[in-house]
Chain A
Amino acid sequence: EPEVTQTPSHQVTQMGQEVILRCVPISNHLYFYWYRQILGQKVEFLVSFYNNEISEKSEIFDDQFSVERPDGSNFTLKIRSTKLEDSAMYFCASSEITGYEKLFFGSGTQLSVL
């Protein structure tokens, strides 16, 4: 079965640094998402992206966050100035235009902000 690929699997950064988390969605999918899970808490929706623009974002997704589909295959999440509380597992997901509710998730990037 096709899968969503995320890199790196682990990333460690210093507070205040910029990080970019990368994802390669399934090739024929048109909707893209980022979710995150802080240790011990629920998986939370961050943002959805369709047709090269944000469809919806949560209150978590403030000006420090941005998403981009730079080249037609990658989907990235940038955090401009990381905070300690950004430490979490970040999941990328994608879905087809039809049957949109079946999301395919990547295995996640564990971000640790020191």
Chain B
Amino acid sequence: GNSVTQMEGPVTLSEEAFLTINCTYTATGYPSLFWYVQYPGEGLQLLLKATKADDKGSNKGFEATYRKETTSFHLEKGSVQVSDSAVYFCALSGGTSYGKLTFGQGTILTVHP
């Protein structure tokens, strides 16, 4: 079956540091890949997505590239801000299962001034 593995967390960075959160996946077929973010007290929000190999999703300075050869979708940001502190979830959906997302375990990011 489908599965998503995220790097172990939590991650603590200083403001303006470079961020990488690793995500690898196992899936049959050609899944779409997502990063969702959850800010304190809020629901999960779609941060970015990629629907086919070599696509790059980007939003709010975050980027992730769909790498089929390494089955990865790592999240990066060149310069994090305190406001980026949140929980980040990598996820995939595959085939005809509309809205059935398979999530990674989530990575807590804390950014200090």
- Interfacial residues, chain A to chain B (CB-CB below 8 A): 3-4, 6, 31, 33, 35, 41-45, 48, 50, 55-56, 91, 93, 95, 100-108
Is B72 close to A, CB under 8 A?
Answer: no
Chain B contacts for A106, CB-based, 8 A: 43
Q: Is the CB of B49 within 8 A of A101?
A: yes
Q: Is the CB of A100 within 8 A of B42?
A: no
Q: Is the CB of A107 within 8 A of B103?
A: no
Summarize A's interface: helix, strand, loop or mixed: strand
Q: Is the CB of B98 within 8 A of A31?
A: yes
Taking a contact as CB atoms closer than 8 A, the residue among A55, A95, A101, A105 that contacts B43 in the complex is A105
CB distance from B34 to the nearest CB of A (A): 7
Q: Is the CB of B99 within 8 A of A31?
A: yes
Interface residues of B, count at CB 8 A: 25
Q: Is the CB of B104 within 8 A of A103?
A: no
Q: Is the CB of A103 within 8 A of B99?
A: yes
9 nearest CB pairs, A to B? A105-B43, A105-B44, A43-B103, A107-B43, A106-B43, A100-B98, A45-B100, A42-B105, A42-B103
Q: Is the CB of A45 within 8 A of B102?
A: yes
Taking a contact as CB atoms closer than 8 A, the residue among B34, B44, B45 that contacts A101 in the complex is B34
Q: A55-B98, A56-B97, A95-B99 are in contact. Are A103 and B106 (CB under 8 A)?
A: no
Within 8 A of A (CB), among B85-113: 89, 91, 93, 97-106
CB distance from B11 to the nearest CB of A (A): 17
Chain A contacts for B34, CB-based, 8 A: 101
Q: Is the CB of A103 within 8 A of B46?
A: yes
Q: Is the CB of A107 within 8 A of B98?
A: no
CB distance from B107 to the nearest CB of A (A): 12
Chain A contacts for B51, CB-based, 8 A: 101
Q: Is the CB of A91 within 8 A of B44?
A: yes
Q: Which residue of chain A has its CB nearest to the CB of B46?
A: A102
Is B32 close to A, CB under 8 A?
Answer: yes
Q: How far is the CA of A25 from the CA of B99 in the complex (A)?
A: 14
Chain B contacts for A6, CB-based, 8 A: 43
CB distance from A96 to the nearest CB of B (A): 11
